Amino acid sequence: MLTSLLESLDVEELLTATYETFYMTIIALIGTFVFGTLLGLLLYLTDKGGIWQNKVINLIVASFVNVFRAIPFIILILLLFPFTDFLMGTIRGPNGALPALIIGAAPFYGRLVEIALKEVDKGVVEAAQSMGAKTRTIIFRVLLPESMPALMSGLTVTAIALIGYTAMAGAIGAGGLGSYAYYSGFQRRDFELVFICSVVIVIIVFLFQFLGDYISSKLDKR
């Protein structure tokens, strides 16, 4: 069985697919981190009792987050085709998947950021205020550093969800392991290739999980 597995395997194609999956996951993760943190901060700061308490903005941001979390990812990609075309100049390949990946994952991560920020001791924020700290200082020197382990483990969860999303995007032409498994494996009845792709994806997931856990525990000085 192993020989037949290796016979049918084009290593170069597998490597390209793996690279594309990594590429999409990492770029989308960076985008998700930036936008998700922004959304999470907005949710936290405009919430009742927050520094920028504002019902209207909170409602708008919360609605945006809820709407984009509600749309199934496969439909979100289709829905975003015109936007993607306008932004990236293409709807195909790894780059064509990025807008949908980020817009799909950022609201999810935003909620995780909000939860992480809520865990920060109110007393510490108050202490910073009593020292005369600006809101900017409170955000960048208190809220974000103090919630960093939770932000990291949230990012790990999000990264793994993103790997799943890239596979889905692959099925409609984004490239990567999902694409490879679907077009070269499933459609050609080569289930061994589907299996190999699955194994590689599982390894990637484990890698992200291990790395995320490690960074998170290194950051945690509690």
- Binding residues (CB under 8 A) for other proteins: these are 121, 123-124, 126-134, 137, 141-142, 145-146, 148, 219, 221-222
Minimum CB distance to other proteins, residue 10 (Å): 48
- Alpha-carbon gap, residue 70 to 116, rounded angstroms: 21
Tokens of 209: 């999980």
Which sign, positive or negative, has the C-alpha torsion 132, 136, 141, 142?
A: positive
Q: What is the Cβ-side half-sphere exposure of residue 139, based on CA atoms within 13 angstroms?
A: 15
CB of 137 to other proteins, least distance (A): 6
Q: By C-beta, is 8 or 129 nearer to other proteins?
A: 129
> What's the min distance (Å) between Cβ of 131 and other proteins?
4
Tokens read off for 20: 């594309």
Collect all residues with Cβ–Cβ distance below 8 Å to 1 and sequence separation of at least 6.
none
Q: Which helix (H) or strand (E) holds 212?
A: helix 191-219
- Specify the residue, 142 or 155, whose C-beta has the smaller distance to other proteins: 142
Which class for 187: exposed (0-12), middle (13-18), buried (19 or more C-beta within 10 A)? exposed
Cβ proximity to other proteins: between 137 and 198 the closer is 137
What does the alpha-carbon distance between residue 162 and residue 165 come to, in Å, rounded to a whole number? 5
Cβ proximity to other proteins, 113 vs 142, nearer residue: 142
Q: Which helix (H) or strand (E) holds 198?
A: helix 191-219
SS3 188: coil
Nearer to other proteins, 122 or 189 (CB): 122
37 CB-near residues (< 8 Å, 6+ apart): 109, 110, 113, 144, 151
Closest distance between other proteins and the C-beta of residue 159, in Å?
Answer: 22
- Minimum Å gap between C-beta 127 and other proteins is 4
**Residue 123 beta carbon to other proteins: minimum distance, rounded to whole angstroms:** 4
Q: Which is nearer to other proteins, 45 or 162 (CB)?
A: 45
At position 88, the amino acid (one-letter code) is: M
